[in-house]
Amino acid sequence: MGRCVLVVGGGGREHALCLALSESPSIREIHTTPGNAGTEHFGSNHDIPASDISGLLELSQRLKVDFVVVGPEAPLCDGLADRLINIGIPCFGPQRLHAELEGSKLFAKQAMEAAGVPTAEYDLLDASSDINTYLDARSHEPWVIKRDVLAGGKGVVVTSDRKEAIEFIQQSVQSDGHVLLERFLPGEEASMLVVMDKSGFVCLPPSQDHKRAYDGDEGPNTGGMGAYCPAPVVTDAIHEKVLERIVGPMFTYLSSMEIPYRGVLYVGLMIDQYGDPYVVEFNVRFGDPECQVTLPLIDTDVGELLFASSTDALSKTDVVFKRAHALTIVLASEGYPKTAIKGRPIVGLDRSLDSATTWVSHAGTSRNETGDFISSGGRVLSVTSVADSLQKARDSSYQRLAQIILDGSHHRSDIGHRAL
Ligand code: AMP
Ligand code: GLY
């Protein structure tokens, strides 16, 4: 029989979700909205944007889907999961209450305090605060300033430039009423994706993103320019600490509430020189591009896993991982992350060039009037490989990327450098 699923979103993450669902024996039919030129291969794309909550409800009912998988955070913060559950449709992605873990940095800090989870100390500044006094108190390290709203990756500034710090604080207080000034945590970052429901949780293998635009971790912050999984920075001993100090306490805290957390909790980690993990951020969805390298390492039926998490059946679900390495490289449009130039032809996307171990995940792609692929976003696509070593996965991804032509595009040539 198999289930019918609707995937909400249209980036590389959603392409990766569709691919994994298409390989799941438990899934019969895949719909995506709005999708991209890659997701249409797995089923039907629809034209309801992820921001149209009523439209998404209507579409889910019309398609008679068995469950909905939500890619991005915004519809979750807008209460999509609550509304789906109200009409009896299970949702992979938490309800509004828990989506605030990503929607509000202050809410996340308060949750971590309540759960006893290690994270950076912070001050809350508002219009009455003397900014310089606060900056002086933390002047021996870069200042970390965080807006308390969903800001699409533009809500955090890490700077040693006092003028920039003051300006960002002032602007944030003016638009949001307050802002967080956080202790700088030195160390190496990693991402831990934890699938959760009322009954239990499953930690997926840890991964590492590359957030800066250029090689050597230089240049502006982006949504992520490439990732690999597993990330060896998370050793067995650190993994144990993450479970004991962070994931376990968060699960206990979240599952004590009337509304359980159903979906994936993205734990952004900073691991210090002593191997102690701290939470830098929570997201309430899969990371992009972490999703592209994490899902291929799940040996279990991913459709079953996501459905189980939507219906509090995780504790009855056995999840097995592959002993393999995955690496993905993002190809971005000229001008990204500032102002991406879109609408250019992309050559080299023929699926016959892909294989079972190396493939392209579409993100900002669409088709023109004649059916040819064109770029339609900042991050255009990513090339993922799975192999028995990270080096092999890296080589295969770069080889496949070399076959793709997009005028003016850029990518990093050092994905995986910390582990290789
Ligand atoms: P966030 O949106 O909270 O993940 O912050 C974006 C990026 O800023 C993170 O991925 C880190 O690279 C950096 N960052 C955030 N908070 C801290 C911190 N307390 N110490 C050092 N770096 C941070
Ligand atoms: N790759 C970082 C994120 O998805 O937030």
Q: Specify the length of the chain in residues.
A: 420
| Residue 186 CA, closest ligand 1 atom number | 21
The answer, yes or no, to whether any atom of ligand 2 lies below 6 A from the CB of 209, is: yes
Residue minimizing CA distance to atom 4 of ligand 1: 281
Q: What per-residue confidence (pLDDT) applies to 152?
A: 79
Q: What is the pLDDT of residues 39-80, one digit of tens each?
A: 999 999 999 999 999 999 999 999 999 999 999 999 999 999
Pocket residue to mutate for ligand 2, from 73, 279, 283, most atoms within 8 A of Cβ: 283
The answer, yes or no, to whether any atom of ligand 1 lies below 6 A from the CB of 281, is: yes
Question: Do 6 and 65 form a contact (C-beta atoms < 8 A)?
Answer: yes
The answer, yes or no, to whether any atom of ligand 1 lies below 6 A from the CB of 144, is: yes
Q: What per-residue confidence (pLDDT) applies to 31?
A: 98
Paired strand residues for 385: 327, 358
Average per-residue pLDDT for the chain: 97
Closest CA relative to residue 36, chosen from 402, 360, 411:
360
Question: Do 206 and 192 form a contact (C-beta atoms < 8 A)?
Answer: yes
The answer, yes or no, to whether any atom of ligand 2 lies below 6 A from the CB of 283, is: yes
pTM of the model: 0.97
The answer, yes or no, to whether any atom of ligand 2 lies below 6 A from the CB of 290, is: yes
Residue minimizing CA distance to atom 5 of ligand 2: 287
Q: What per-residue confidence (pLDDT) applies to 300?
A: 96
Q: What per-residue confidence (pLDDT) applies to 154?
A: 82
Paired strand residues for 30: 5
| Residue 268 CA, closest ligand 1 atom number | 4
Query: Concatenated DSSP letters for 266-292?
Result: EEEEEE-TTS-EEEEEEESS--TTHHH
| Residue 13 CA, closest ligand 2 atom number | 4
Contacts of 123 (CB under 8 A, 6+ apart): 129, 134, 137, 180, 181
Q: What percent of the chain has pLDDT over 70?
A: 100
Which stretches of the chain score pLDDT less than 70?
none
Q: What per-residue confidence (pLDDT) applies to 387?
A: 98
Domains and CATH numbers, the chain: 3-100 (3.40.50.20), 121-182 (3.30.1490.20)
Pick the ligand that lies closest to the CA of residue 221.
Answer: 1
